[in-house]
Amino acid sequence: MAKIAQRYLEVHPWQLKEIGFHEKRAVVSESLFSLSNEYMGVRGFFDEGYPKDTLIGSYFNGIYEIPKDIRRSHYKGISDKLHYMVNATNIFYTRLIFDDQVFVFDPKQISDYVRTLDFKTGESTRSYRIKDWVEITFKRILNMQTYQLSHQMIMIKPLQFNGQFRIEIGLDTDVKHWGQPGFWDVKAYDRGYTLAQTTTRQHVFSAYQLDCNVPYTSSYRYENRLNVETLSFDLNQEVIIEKNMVSLIDKKMVKTIVQFKEEAACLFEGASFEKTLKMNRDFYQTYWNEHDITIEGDPYNQQGIRFCLFQLVNTYQGVSEENNIGAKGLTGEAYSGHAFWDSETYCLPVYLFTNPKAAKNLLMFRYNTLNQARRRAKELDCRGACYPIATLNGDEACDLWQHASLQFQPTSAVAYAIWHYVKNTKDIYFLIHYGFEMLVEIARFFSSRGQYNHDQTKFGYYGVMGPDEFQMMVNHNAYTNLLGKESMKYFLEVYATYQHEPHVQQVMQSLDVKDDELDVMRDQVDKMYIPYDAKTKIYEQHEGFHDLPHIDIHAIPVTDFPLYAHWSYDRIYRNDMIKQPDVLMFMFLYNQRFDRETKKANYDYYEPKTIHESSLSPSIHSILANEIGYQQEALDFFGFATRMDIDDYNRNAKEGLHLTSIAAAWVNIVYGFGGLRSDGDILKLAPTCPKTWTNYAFSIHYFGSTIKVHVTHESITLTLDRALNEPIMIYDQIYHLDKGTTTLHVMDY
């Protein structure tokens, strides 16, 4: 693998810690030290300003903008419904003024720099000395339960500075998005609050209150969307300023300024940094007690997996079914805050076995945006529903036709996720009242988008792009054909089982689904072509893939990454290099349908061609490598997955964290070394322990029971908080587990 780690942080089981300022990694640190609580997110930028490369980012889930210069293409099917998560008011705006000199962070003038992010509290702390003048400490925290609350604490300890000290504190709505001026229109402001509006007529109300341990005088000004007050001190003792903040959003413009202020006043009542710190400590203690993953004997991956879990719970807890999980979460502007097919294939398994309600809400987002998916299918001259490749609000937000018009992974992923969710929850009510309508429209899309070959013997998809985005306009992509087949097949099975249910009949009637349409789908399922060689057991990624020119991916210089920035666009498509798993991806999703020999043959063929330019790639390779006995390779890929951002393997962590890859790290350890398989008739565990680890442990929630799994080289111990009413397979034997502890011997997998 050509990619290598870029390590500069301390190794700690419960923290990120940067000792000494690493100027070349400054923007990466802004991503790594991000805070979020599903409602809002803020990058770890410098409160006091930084004159060099920086991305000052504050984001609210579901608040988006529309580009000013959208041009409707004269080609049908190119989306003109573009939108992006917009950078919002900087509520941490601060400026330090010594005498009359404004200090913005300057590496040449500081010493003793330390920054930490605590996984047990969600508290971010940054401290340093300015020359021999003062010692400065900035603290931040977002409330994980009262989502609208956030806090900033600034401590200025005098050393040898005897002059006048002033500090500007306020709200900056004159923010940039990717370096360009924002679109915010300030509708109302006064000392302590700003009400701003997007061109999409969504409101964000930001307010703060100050508390200080020493007397001060203050003045106030508003100019150019900068709403600040200046505090002046005699700096003869340590000054501690606490800024408590409330952020409120209104997507439908129904609240008045009076209502905003009244709501904020209620939230401010009794709010403080220390109170939120205590609330967060309780929140995270409960979270870690239930969901911690421990690894003994590997401090790097222990830190890596806890960082992943910490950022994952911060990003999404399933509080609202109006939001999805953006590929960068709330940590940066790359991918414009959009959700992709990763939500259903990588994120949903995590929540399915840790927080089933959140898993359901991910699917409800797709149900609530079904009408937009229907419109998208019509734009592509198809029937049914085509879910967008990239979206915040349900509309297709990608104007790159080769992705938005050729990739159908989101659509098949929704059908797969419904199947996966229902299989492992038995939530038949959801299936009948929500899932079924989606399945009808998804099946219709795959039926209408596909075509028969010239002699009507093969059905499949022509001119598509599968998960491997380095192959465009291909025919019979194995993943697309297989998932299209399974989507139609599952719809037909659900209808056959529940056709007498009143709501199912109502959906079939309202959508005018006739028997002859079902007959057509059955024939398409039967004739779906999946390129496969029974002799070699290899599935051809798409027709003609085996004939592509070969490239040695290990000969690519590390300086060429990311490839999209260093190679011409067309060059990427002219060889057999693979961006991310394609054939191997469906072998993960439908794992138990393929025998070990088939998995090994395809892994051995495709892995040497895979460059892992997608952050989603290492985890799937790790899972399959472990299954076929490549234990060291599995462990190497696991380290790549868990420390993707901490070590900046892909050289793009500065743009924001890879949140769906972070979810994949959980999938990696639980499905990989833990051997969880959830695609069969019975849930299965088949743990193995890497040779360099002493032991590891994880938990899953399954039909109301919490199963804590502890694995050593010799034994597997399962501890249940209540009896499990469903059977579970451990290795190849079925068990009915009672409350308490069961210990078994580890077997070769």
Catalytic site residues?
A: 469
69 burial level (CB within 10 Å; 0-12, 13-18, 19+)? exposed
Query: Within 10 A of 262 (CB to CB), how many other CB atoms are there?
Result: 11
Reference 98, options 65, 125, 134; nearest CA is 134
One-character DSSP codes across 685-703: E-----TT-SEEEEEEEET
H helices within 213-298, ranges in order? 257-268, 273-291
- C-alpha 161/C-alpha 183 separation (Å) is 41
CB-based contacts of 219: which residues, under 8 Å, 6+ apart? 229, 230, 232
- Are the C-beta atoms of 359 and 325 separated by less than 8 Å? no
- Are the C-beta atoms of 129 and 159 separated by less than 8 Å? yes
- C-alpha 556/C-alpha 3 separation (Å) is 10
Unique residue bearing structure tokens 């408590």: 244
- C-alpha 2/C-alpha 25 separation (Å) is 21
- Are the C-beta atoms of 625 and 603 separated by less than 8 Å? yes
Helix (H, G, I), strand (E, B) or coil at 720: strand
- CA distances for 353 relative to 75, 325, 520, 622, angstroms: 44, 17, 37, 20
- C-alpha 220/C-alpha 189 separation (Å) is 12
Beta bridge partners of 153: 139, 242
CB-based contacts of 692: which residues, under 8 Å, 6+ apart? 297, 298, 635
One-character DSSP codes across 425-479: H--HHHIIIIIHHHHHHHHHHHHHH-EE-TTSS-EE--SB--S-TTS-SBSS-HH
Tokens of 401: 């036709």
CB-based contacts of 195: which residues, under 8 Å, 6+ apart? 186, 187, 188, 189, 203, 204, 205, 206, 257, 260
Helix (H, G, I), strand (E, B) or coil at 134: strand
- C-alpha 285/C-alpha 390 separation (Å) is 35
- C-alpha 257/C-alpha 250 separation (Å) is 11
- C-alpha 22/C-alpha 594 separation (Å) is 47
- Are the C-beta atoms of 660 and 616 separated by less than 8 Å? yes
Q: In this structure, which amino acid lies at residue 302? A: Q
Radius of gyration of the chain (CA): 27
Identify the DSSP state of 741.
E
- C-alpha 323/C-alpha 335 separation (Å) is 16
Tokens of 635: 């462990």
Report the Cα 164 to chain-centroid distance in Å.
46
Identify the DSSP state of 658.
-
Query: Within 10 A of 137 (CB to CB), how many other CB atoms are there?
Result: 16
**HEC string of 58-96?**
EEECCCEECCCCCCCCCCCCCCCCCCEECCCCECCCEEE
